[in-house]
Structure 1
Amino acid sequence: MKVGLVLEGGAMRGLYTAGVIDTFLKEKIDVDTIIGVSAGALFGMNYKSKQIGRVLRYNKAYVGNKDYMGVYSFLKTGNVMNEEFCFEKLIDDLDPIDYQSYQESPVDFYAVVTNLQTGKAEYKLLDTLDNYDQVEYLRASGSMPFVSHIIQVNGHEYLDGGCSDSIPIKKMLEMDVDKIIVVLTRPLDYRKKPSNKHLNKLFYHQYPHFVETLNNRYLNYNASLDLITKLEKEKKIFVLRPSQLIPIGRLEKDKEVIQQMYDLGVSDCNNQLENLKKYLRG
């Protein structure tokens, strides 16, 4: 039996996901394929490298560092998330990724990126983070529009995968898996609202297909939620979502709030653990 895991993004709401995947590792909930979007990819890769607690640890340690993320980083580098800090200093020095464990893991890990020329989602297999292109795809997956530089890889231009496929349930249904777990970062009653079409066109008028994707994002997002709700009711997939609303900013710097979001992921997962195991056995 093969198990797929879908990880929604959501910037610092992804601490919920971090709590879930740490619990999976502790409880030996094995998955074979992961598709992560934005923060779901950036945080979810720690499942493949088997580094329990790393996401919470480095966020609490460096969230107050102006070179990590925020207005200072945006004004200094043009990226709200400092690329040099996040993808060089952090993963290689300050709190390193276990590259050997990552590469030896049998888990197929995909990051979702959005191609600006086509406006479509692409799903990049990241089997090693020693490869320059793969690190760039990981970077692109979390490069939020309007506050990030466009990432260029092999002549193509990319931004945040959440723009085109925020919750890649349809893609996972196409994969060779028998069971699917979906981790959402919004409560049950959430629905996305339309974005500002004028702002989308103002920023990205050179990429008309991408503008169309941004304009339709709320429709695609809500359609994915509807599909997930349907499949969940039919017991074809298993869904973990926040059981309560914790007000957390996309670039949250309050360590207590960060801890609360992580703890909610842990507690929700523990509360559903027996139901999850029953689903996986069925």
Structure 2
Amino acid sequence: MKTGLILEGGAVRGIFTAGVLDRLMENGIYYPYVCGVSAGGGNAMSYVSRQIGRTARQINAPKSESYFGFRQFVEVHKIINLDKMAFEYPYKQFPFDFDTYFKSGIDVEYACTCCETGKAEFFSDTSDEQRLMTIVKATCSVPMLCDPVEIDGKHYLDGSIADSIPIQHALDMGCDRVVIVMTKPDTNVPPTNYAKFRQVISHMYKDYPAFIEACMERVENYNRTIALMDKLQAEGKAFVIRPQIPTINKFEQDSRKIMELYRHGYTLMDKRLMELVDWNEGRKQEKPERSAVISEENAGDFAAEDNVLLA
């Protein structure tokens, strides 16, 4: 069986995912297919390049080095400076191991929303550093705050608009089962509802009517995805991990709060590690309800062989 790893976005909330993945990497747990969406794309990069701690350092960068916030607005007149994140961080502040990434053997994709069609498209690259980072920039480009990113003659924005959690795409890519890392504690809380900004969206993207429609339908599409996730989880085909504590603001800048959520992701994955190992190996187990709080009882330690690529 082929298992895929799906990483939801959520801006700074992605620090939870960083904690989860760092614990997986420490145990040599790697999946053959990975799909990152928005901030999940940055997490996917460091997971595939096997750089424990890199994403956490990047998300929790000092304000003087942060790619978002008031300082960036003063310097480049943008709240979010994705050029800094995509084309400066990997080469300076937070070096990225492109060589390990390209040689990983992992099929990794990034979801982007096409402005021309309003549909999700999935990109990957195994040799071109600049193209890879352009793709990652595109999946992270938040509507209204970032400009569309051009790839192969078309224009793209945040992948979560068209496909927040690409479960069906992972199945279409041959995955029989999926591990899903979410960044909100409760799936009953919908993602940003861009329909509330209909007037602004319609004005800003008047040249992209299909994209406007995708923004208006985002919550409905999200709910369908959650229904599919619940179905697969009930069938034992999805392993879902999400925060069990109140989350933080999407653009939180309090380092203490950010690292608290990172540690929560790390320790929660540690507690559920044996549960995940059993699930990976197809052993029957009790599965938590969708909104259940995970038991505080430690699941125990797991010593896996290094660099295991799970089928």
With structure 1 as the length reference, what TM-score do the two structures score?
A: 0.93
What is the match of residue 96 of structure 1? Answer: 95
C-alpha separation in 1, matches of 2:78 and 2:272: 37
What letter matches 2:175 in structure 1?
V
What is the match of residue 61 of structure 2? Answer: 61
C-alpha separation in 2, matches of 1:216 and 1:99: 36
Find out whether 1:42 has 2:42 as its counterpart: yes
What is the match of residue 223 of structure 2? Answer: 222
Q: Does structure 2 conserve the Cα–Cα contact (< 8 Å) formed by 1:112 and 1:122? A: yes
Structure 1, residues 128-148: CA drift from partner, whole Å, max 9, x if none? Answer: 452x33221111000100000
Distance 1:99 1:256, change over 3 A: same
What letter matches 2:108 in structure 1?
F
Structure 1, residues 181-240: CA drift from partner, whole Å, max 9, x if none? Answer: 011111134331643222221221211100000000011111111211121122111111
C-alpha separation in 1, matches of 2:93 and 2:111: 26
Residues 211-250 of structure 1: matches in 2 within 5 Å? 211-246=212-247, 248-250=248-250
1:143 aligned residue (141, 150, 157): 141
Find out whether 1:205 has 2:206 as its counterpart: yes
What letter matches 1:242 in structure 2?
P
C-alpha separation in 1, matches of 2:140 and 2:269: 24
Gaps of 5+ in 1: none
C-alpha separation in 2, matches of 1:3 and 1:79: 39
Aligned length: 279
2:190 aligned residue (180, 183, 192): 192
With structure 2 as the length reference, what TM-score do the two structures score?
A: 0.85
Structure 1, residues 132-174: CA drift from partner, whole Å, max 9, x if none? Answer: 3322111100010000011112211111101110110110111
Gaps of 5+ in 2: 283-311
What letter matches 1:77 in structure 2?
V
Secondary structure, counterpart of 2:146 in structure 1:
coil
Q: Percent identity?
A: 33
Secondary structure, counterpart of 1:171 in structure 2:
helix
Residues 1-282 of structure 1: matches in 2 within 5 Å? 1-62=1-62, 64-65=63-64, 68-74=67-73, 76-130=75-129, 132-192=130-190, 194-195=193-194, 196=196, 197-246=198-247, 248-282=248-282
Secondary structure, counterpart of 1:85 in structure 2:
helix
The Cα shift of 1:126 comes to 2.9
Q: CA RMSD in A?
A: 1.7
Question: Which moves more between the two structures, 78-87 or 183-192?
Answer: 78-87
The Cα shift of 1:67 comes to 5.7
Secondary structure, counterpart of 2:29 in structure 1:
coil
Q: Does structure 1 conserve the Cα–Cα contact (< 8 Å) formed by 2:7 and 2:43? A: no
What letter matches 2:12 in structure 1?
M
C-alpha separation in 1, matches of 2:218 and 2:261: 25
Secondary structure, counterpart of 2:178 in structure 1:
strand
What letter matches 2:173 in structure 1?
M
Q: Does structure 2 conserve the Cα–Cα contact (< 8 Å) formed by 1:66 and 1:72? A: no
Larger Rg: 2
What letter matches 1:179 in structure 2?
R
